[in-house]
Amino acid sequence: DNFFHHGPNGKHACMAFERLGPNLLSLIKHYKYQGVPLPIVRRIAREVCRGLDFLHRHCSVIHTDLKPENVLLTEDLPAPPSPMYSDDESSVHTADDASDDDDEEDDDEREGDDGDGEEGSGDDAPHARSRASANKSGVSESKGKEAPVGASGGGGGGGG
């Protein structure tokens, strides 16, 4: 639903949504600024693009304040990965490590998405509402690999 508010600072468009979850900044903090896993980044980026497309095409709205604080998620944050030790306990693997190889296969399955917003279940990654938007500037390429959103390091430069 939407409405306009007339106040001392002028006319403001207001939008009302169902109760949503935490924002994208909370997700970045959840991963301790070490980077959100790539499958989650892909899912959020895809939904943000869909949301911006909807705003542009159907509402004639241009979002002018894209930042992690303004992207509301519809699902709770996932539990942090639990470490799994190898036999010699000299190396630690997380549950996320095992799923990295399946990323391309999952993306291929999702490319056939008919745009109705219904994606396969079983993915516990949070995602952005189709009406939300995100700052994609945190996704960059380095030596052929994508850096996760919120990853700190190298090259200076500021964030959102």
Per DSSP, the residues of 89-133 read SSSEEEHHHHHGGGHHHHHHHHTT--SSS---S------B-TT--
* 65 tagged catalytic: yes
Question: Which listed residue (1, 53, 65, 116) is catalytic?
Answer: 65
Nearest C-alpha neighbor of 125 from the set 59, 37, 13: 37
Distance CA 23, CA 11 (A): 26
Nearest C-alpha neighbor of 30 from the set 77, 71, 70: 77
Which helix (H) or strand (E) segment is 11 a member of?
Answer: strand 10-15
Contact assessment for residue 69 and residue 5, using Cβ atoms and an 8 Å cutoff: no
* Residues recognised as catalytic: 65
